[in-house]
Amino acid sequence: MTYRGRFAPSPTGPLHAGSLVSALASYLDARAHGGSWTVRIEDVDAPRTVPGAADEILATLEHFGMHSDEPPVWQSARGAAYAAAFERLRATGLIYPCGCTRREIADSLLSAHARHATLAYPGTCRDGLHGKSARAWRLRVPDGAAAVVTFVDRWQGIQTQDLATEVGDFALKRADGLWAYQLAVVVDDADAGITHVARGADLLDSTARQIYLQHCLGVPTPDYLHVPVVSNDIGEKLSKQTGAAALDRNAPLDALVEAARHLGIEAPGESLETFYSAATAEWAKRFAR
């Protein structure tokens, strides 16, 4: 098998110490396997996209010595591919329009499961819109044992999620008309022939949905590895929302050494070349045997 990996940042702000860890993990995994590594700009969520952030991320990755082996893919240019996948699912009857607002979903969950509330969509519109107008489009998840998705994560070990009770039918097209992240990622990974996904553990919870969607679309499931997220002093995941500082493009080595340490790797920060060769060798010992 030819290894094909990717780093898929959302351009909601500049690269910071947290997103650098995901970038580095995916890069080292690709290098350790002798595979290719490509950047995908996840700008499908247009309202959250910050102008100029994607170019800034790409420039920072270059300065940090991580070069995309193929030209970066931009989700904003892939609407036709998402529409085609959506139509295929629609033809099979697996998706349906939903007229519920967030408020209605929250209310029905509270009243139905006052004590054991889960966040699963309760399936209100499964058998029709009940006079409401269509907002989002949802993918039907199976009931019973068929809803349980299990996979082995190379970092986190065996993972299991019951889509029926923990997630419910999930949106592929959002109420604002945008394609949902889950659909875009699955279609993009499949079209790019991605064989290995290495990303932050904040996305672990999305993986079962993506695997189920891959089955519905008849595309392969990549191998997954979710690295621990970086938190700030008060335990919040580093992100633009929690005020993470942008990386200094001109001082890559200290940040890279720190990111590698977060991944359990000690690599010298004398030059990019010595750093990457030592870090790749260390990563290979753990993950590419």
Measured from the CB atom, is 73 or 100 closer to ligand GLU?
Answer: 73
Q: What type of residue sits at position 253?
A: L
Q: Which long-range contacts (CB under 8 A, 24 or more apart) does 82-89 make?
A: 82/44, 82/179, 82/183, 82/184, 82/187, 85/183, 85/186, 85/187, 85/217, 86/137, 86/172, 86/173, 86/179, 86/183, 88/217, 89/139, 89/172, 89/216, 89/217
Cβ nearer to ligand GLU, comparing 53 with 100: 53
To the nearest whole angstrom, how small is the minimum distance from the Cβ of residue 14 to ligand GLU?
Answer: 13
Of 11 and 123, CB closest to ligand GLU: 11
Cβ closer to ligand GLU: 6 or 173? 6
Minimum gap (Å) between residue 286 Cβ and ligand GLU: 20
DSSP-derived letter for residue 231 is B
CB 72 to ligand GLU: min, Å: 13
What distance in Å separates the CA atoms of residue 27 and residue 31, rounded to the nearest whole number?
6
Considering the complex, state which of residue 5 and residue 252 has its C-beta at the smaller distance from ligand GLU: 5
3-state secondary structure of 249: coil
DSSP state string for 128-149: --TTPPP-EEEEPPPPGGGGEE
Least Å distance between CB 29 and ligand GLU? 13
* Residue 173, annotated as binding a ligand: no
CB atoms within 10 A of CB 259: 27
How large is the angle between the packed helices 272-287 and 252-262, nearest 10 degrees? 10
Please tell me whether 9 is known to bind a ligand.
yes
Smallest gap, in angstroms, from Cβ of residue 9 to ligand GLU?
5
In angstroms, give the least distance from the CB of 149 to ligand GLU: 16
Does the annotation flag 26 for ligand binding?
no
The binding site for ligand GLU (CB under 6 A) comprises: 8-10, 42, 185, 199, 203
Q: According to the annotation, is 8 in a ligand binding site?
A: yes
Q: Is 96 assigned a ligand-binding role in the annotation? A: no
- C-alpha to C-alpha distances, 136 to 39, 103, 140, 142, nearest whole angstrom: 29, 14, 13, 19
Q: Is 228 annotated as a binding residue?
A: no
In terms of CB distance, is 126 or 215 closer to ligand GLU? 215
Annotated ligand binding at 6? The verdict is yes
**Hey, CA dihedral for 10, 12, 18, 21, is it positive or negative?**
positive
Residues making up the binding site for ATP:
240
Residues making up the binding site for L-glutamate:
6-10, 42, 181, 199
Residues making up the binding site:
6-10, 42, 98, 100, 121, 125, 181, 199, 240
Residues making up the binding site for Zn(2+):
98, 100, 121, 125
